[in-house]
Structures are given as structure tokens and as C-alpha cells.
């Protein structure tokens, strides 16, 4: 029995040894196949060929890795995919595109600013030209106003000479003197003030003079010194001479050579021109 048992044990040991040898051979073959597949997959990965579903099935059907396999796997060189270089190139290209867009935008902004500056500058030049023209027009107006002012000053100075004793009636100014002069001196006085001896044109003006003169005699601008009996006003006219306002019986040359006329409340008189009489000056406002 003991011998049978020993034989059985020997046979069992032999069978176990054979099984182990066979399993080792299977492991070795499987390892060889796995290494071969690993090399092939590494080459395929480095050549960036897409993995087919077959690779996935083979990978999933691989036998479980033994601790030895893990060590071999851990000691393999790390894979460095080529995707990193491609990503860098892509990023560089994107950065270049962004930089180009920024340059285009910057250039566009510069062009817009230049165009705006040119337009504003042209507008300022136009405004400056308009202001220059307006300034010139204002200078011309100021010059004209200055001339008118000087003219008004001159007229005011002339009018100031008429302040004392001058009276306004209708469209004329009248000066009734308080002193006496002969006819020529009286007329000179009036002419030096831009006036002349009065010319009486109508009844209304005669009444105006009559009311002011009262009982005094005043020289008027009427004479026949050039031709006896031909009376004329100082402006050369002869209005109201014959049918005028002579006192009854005048002119009569009673004292001889009475060639100048004066007015009184009772009417006109012919008088010697060298007599001392008050006078009336007249100046038209419309002139």
C-alpha cells in the first residue's frame, strides 16, 4: 500500500511539475505575445495611426498581468505623445492671428483718428476764415460808425452854438439877437453859425416872428442893394415881396438908400443897411 501511495505521489508530483512547466511555457508565450503587441502598439501610437477596435479587443483580452508584468510595465519608458508639439504650434498660430487682428484694429483706430483730426482741422480753418471775415466786417462797421460819430459831434458842436437864444419852429431854428449890428455884420454872424438872415415864406412864419419881436426891429434877409426897387431874399428868391407883409407906405426910401429890410410888429420897413438893428438868424433842421 505504501508503495502504491508513493507511486501515486510520484506520478502526481510528475504531473504537477509538467503542469507547472506547461503553465510557465504558456506564461512565457503570453509574455512574448504581450511584448510583441506592446511594441506594435507603441509603434502605432508614435506614428499617430488611429487605433482600430481590434486594438481595444486585443487589449481587453490580454491575460491578467502578474507582478512581474507590473514591474516590466512600470520600467517601460514614459510615452511622449506628439500631440504636445501640435498643440504648441496651434497655440502659436492662434497667438499670431490674435496679434494680427490687434494690429489691424490698431491701424484702423489710427486711420479713424487721423481722418477725424483732418476733418476737425478743416472745420476749424473754415470757422477761422468766417471769423476773420466777420472781424473785417465789424472793423468796417466800426469805421463807419466812427465817421458818423465824428459827423454827429460836428453837428452837435454847431448846434451848441444855438443853445442861447435859439428857438424851434416847424422845420427851422431861429435866433433872436439881443445886441445890435448893421445888416452886413448881422448876416456875417448868422453865416458863421451855419445859418443866414431869416426868410419869411408865409403868414404863419410872419406871425411867429411878430409874437417874439414885439415892438423891436429885427433885420431880415431882404435887400434891394443890387438894384433899387428890386427886392430879393438872401437865397435869391422874391417870394412874398410885392404882396408881402410891408407896413402901409413901405418901402419908401424915406431917408434915401434904404436898401435893407427889417421887421416890426406892425410889418416890414426899408432901412439904411448901416443902421444898428437887432437881427434874426434862421437855420433849417432838414439840411
**Residue 254 belongs to domain with CATH number:** 3.10.100.10
Q: 172 Cβ partners below 8 Å, 6+ apart?
A: 282, 283, 284, 285
pLDDT score recorded for residue 54 = 46
Q: Let me know whether 153 and 188 are in one domain.
A: no
Q: Are residues 256 and 194 in the same domain?
A: yes
Shared domain for 172 and 274, answered yes or no, is yes
pLDDT at 227: 87
Q: Parallel, antiparallel, or unpaired: how do β-strands 166-169 and 172-176 relate?
A: antiparallel
- 172 with 127, same domain: the answer is no
The answer to whether residues 243 and 203 touch, using CB atoms and an 8 Å cutoff, is no
Beta bridge partners of 174: 167, 282
Q: Do 269 and 218 sit in the same domain of this protein?
A: yes
> For residue 187, which of 240, 225, 229 has the smallest C-alpha distance?
225
> What pLDDT, on a 0 to 100 scale, did the predictor assign at position 99?
87
The bridge status of strand 196-197 relative to strand 232-233 is unpaired
Q: What is the pLDDT of residue 191?
A: 94
205 and 219 housed in the same domain: yes
Residue 105, domain member (yes or no): yes
Q: What is the DSSP letter of 277?
A: B
- Give residue 54's domain range: 2-74
251 preceded by a cis bond (ω within 30 of 0):
yes
What is residue 35's predicted lDDT score, i.e. its pLDDT? 62
Please indicate, yes or no, if residue 83 is contained in any of the structural domains.
no
- Together in a domain, 175 and 225: yes
Q: Are 251 and 270 in contact (CB under 8 A)?
A: yes
Q: Where are the alpha helices (DSSP H) in 47-82?
A: 53-60, 67-74
Average pLDDT of each block of 10 consecutive residues along the chain (287 residues)?
Answer: 46 54 55 63 54 44 46 48 61 84 90 91 90 91 91 72 73 91 96 93 90 91 90 86 80 83 91 94 84
Do 62 and 102 share a structural domain? Answer: no
Last residue of a domain, one of 160, 188, 208: 160
Amino acid at each position: 500500500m505504501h508503495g502504491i501511495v508513493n507511486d501515486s505521489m510520484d506520478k502526481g508530483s510528475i504531473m504537477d511539475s509538467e503542469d507547472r512547466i506547461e503553465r510557465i511555457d504558456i506564461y512565457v508565450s503570453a509574455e512574448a505575445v504581450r511584448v510583441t503587441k506592446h511594441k506594435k502598439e507603441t509603434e502605432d501610437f508614435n506614428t499617430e495611426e488611429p487605433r482600430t477596435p481590434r486594438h481595444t479587443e486585443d487589449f481587453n483580452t490580454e491575460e491578467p498581468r502578474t507582478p512581474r508584468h507590473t514591474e516590466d510595465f512600470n520600467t517601460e519608458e514614459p510615452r511622449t505623445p506628439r500631440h504636445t508639439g501640435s498643440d504648441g504650434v496651434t497655440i502659436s498660430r492662434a497667438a499670431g492671428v490674435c496679434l494680427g487682428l490687434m494690429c489691424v484694429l490698431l491701424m484702423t483706430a489710427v486711420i479713424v483718428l487721423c481722418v477725424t483730426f483732418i476733418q476737425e482741422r478743416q472745420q476749424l480753418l473754415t470757422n477761422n476764415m468766417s471769423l476773420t471775415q466777420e472781424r473785417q466786417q465789424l472793423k468796417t462797421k466800426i469805421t463807419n460808425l466812427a465817421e458818423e460819430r465824428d459827423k454827429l459831434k460836428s453837428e452837435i458842436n454847431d448846434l451848441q452854438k444855438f443853445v442861447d437864444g435859439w428857438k424851434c419852429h416847424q422845420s427851422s431854428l431861429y435866433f433872436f439877437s439881443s445886441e445890435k449890428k448893421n445888416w452886413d455884420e448881422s448876416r456875417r454872424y448868422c453865416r458863421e453859425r451855419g445859418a443866414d438872415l431869416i426868410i419869411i415864406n408865409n403868414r404863419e412864419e410872419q406871425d411867429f416872428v411878430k409874437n417874439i419881436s414885439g415892438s423891436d426891429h429885427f433885420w431880415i434877409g431882404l435887400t434891394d442893394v443890387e438894384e433899387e426897387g428890386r427886392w430879393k431874399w438872401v437865397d435869391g428868391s422874391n417870394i412874398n415881396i410885392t404882396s408881402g407883409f410891408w407896413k402901409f407906405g413901405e418901402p419908401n426910401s424915406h431917408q434915401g438908400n434904404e436898401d435893407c429890410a427889417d421887421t416890426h410888429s406892425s410889418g416890414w420897413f426899408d432901412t439904411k443897411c448901416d443902421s444898428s438893428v437887432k437881427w434874426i438868424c434862421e437855420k433849417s433842421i432838414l439840411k
